[in-house]
Amino acid sequence: SFPEKVYIREVGPRDGLQNESKFIQTDDKIQWIDHLSNTGLNYIEVTSFVNPTWIPALSDAEYVAKHIKKNPDITYAALIPNIKGLSRALESSIDEVAVFISASESHNKNNINKTISETEIVLSEVVKESISNNKTVRGYISTVFGCPFEGHIEIDQVIRLADSLFEMGIDELSLGDTIGIANPSQVKQVLEKVLKRYSPESIAMHFHNTRGTALANVLASLEMGISKFDSSLGGLGGCPYAPGASGNLATDDLNYMLTNMGIVTNINPVELNSAALFIQDKLQKPLDSYSVKYYESQ
Ligand code: HMG
Ligand code: MG
């Protein structure tokens, strides 16, 4: 049986916009996030406090985080790579800190310019400081199902990093299929090992849809008891430091499938669609979700 309720973590304003070459005006980002806050979503990753020369699209992180209208029922999170990012975020009153590390040495180096073990030292400090500032913390492991440079990733390497992040004190772990290479059998193999050590409530799955397997991977995860999924409205997204990585699983498509399976998400599809059309208009290019394409064909 499937979980009765699923929690969708909207990562569009961060994972979605970080990969867009068009800079979305700061006021438009704020309006979009405020719109997302009215859809019934209870979790939004709003920006990232990374080096703005690495991710120019999110160079307005402070302003965005400070000026969105916060709904107390929603967790507003931001991606943080180091202590400098954390102090920027703390000044902007974010609810949750999301730290990230890659299971692959070469992707980690490309993405954050450090080895995995150097990154673990940085992150343990970030997690400790976040907790002492009363922030909840989410950890991401990237390239769990395959790396753009190294190919195969050992499950044991994922387990080792999961242990390391939970020992630091993270509340939730998101397993990232950064380049959208996973298939349902592989998802089950990884989750079988992960769920021997951690409860399904503490794990989220983060699928990109590069090869069209994301919804199938969600179904496999649901069968394993997972009830938390990251997705991006309209299927925006991708990691600029992972060649070939394309958009996240689309929130609107995920919400369609789940609600029609009788799984509660509490998200209003009409509001979701209108938020998608808003950002499509600002991006001036068609979004890649089935839901938006279907809507436009009517
Ligand atoms: P670095 O250049 O090695 O950093 O970058 P550094 O510590 O040597 O500092 C260099 C300069 O950057 C210094 O400034 C720092 O102050 C500044 P200078 O003295 O030269 O004037 N700096 C910063 N400025 C603002 N905010 C900061 C910050 N940190 C340093 N936080 C760093 C290291 C990690 C910062 C860099 O590599 C970086 O920003 N990387 C982020 C890349 C990124 O955002 N990738 C995409 C997100 S990950 C993803 O998409 C995957 C995910 O979705 C899951 C999945 O799909 O699997 C999460
Ligand atoms: Mg991602």
SS3 207: strand
Q: How confident is the model at residue 26 (pLDDT cuts 50, 70, 90)?
A: very high
Q: How confident is the model at residue 213 (pLDDT cuts 50, 70, 90)?
A: very high
Q: How far is the CA of 188 from the centre of ligand 1 (A)?
A: 32
Mean pLDDT of 43-64: 98
8 A C-beta contact, residue 253 and residue 215: yes
Residue nearest to atom 48 of ligand 1 (CA): 239
| pLDDT in the model for residue 242 | 82
Summarised one tens digit per residue, pLDDT across range 86-131 is 999 999 989 999 999 999 999 999 999 999 999 999 999 999 999 9
Q: Which residues are catalytic?
A: 239
- Rounded CA-CA distance 4/1 in Å is 9
Name, in order, each residue with C-beta under 8 angstroms of 274's C-beta and a sequence gap of 6 or more: 35
Angle among Cα 76, 194, 108 to the nearest 5 degrees reads 65
Choice from 15, 19, 20, 50 to test ligand 1 binding pocket (greatest atom count within 8 A of CB): 50
50 lines ligand 1 (CB under 6 A): yes
Q: How far is the CA of 159 from the centre of ligand 1 (A)?
A: 25
Can you give the pTM of this predicted structure? 0.97
Residue nearest to atom 9 of ligand 1 (CA): 51
Q: How confident is the model at residue 238 (pLDDT cuts 50, 70, 90)?
A: confident
The interface predicted TM-score of the complex, written ipTM, equals 0.98
54 lines ligand 1 (CB under 6 A): yes
Q: How far is the CA of 244 from the centre of ligand 2 (A)?
A: 12
- Rounded CA-CA distance 260/206 in Å is 21
Provide DSSP, 8-43: EEE-IIIIIHHT-SSPPPHHHHHHHHHHHTTTT-SE
Given a cut of 90, is residue 149 above it in pLDDT? yes
**Mean predicted lDDT score pLDDT of the chain:** 97
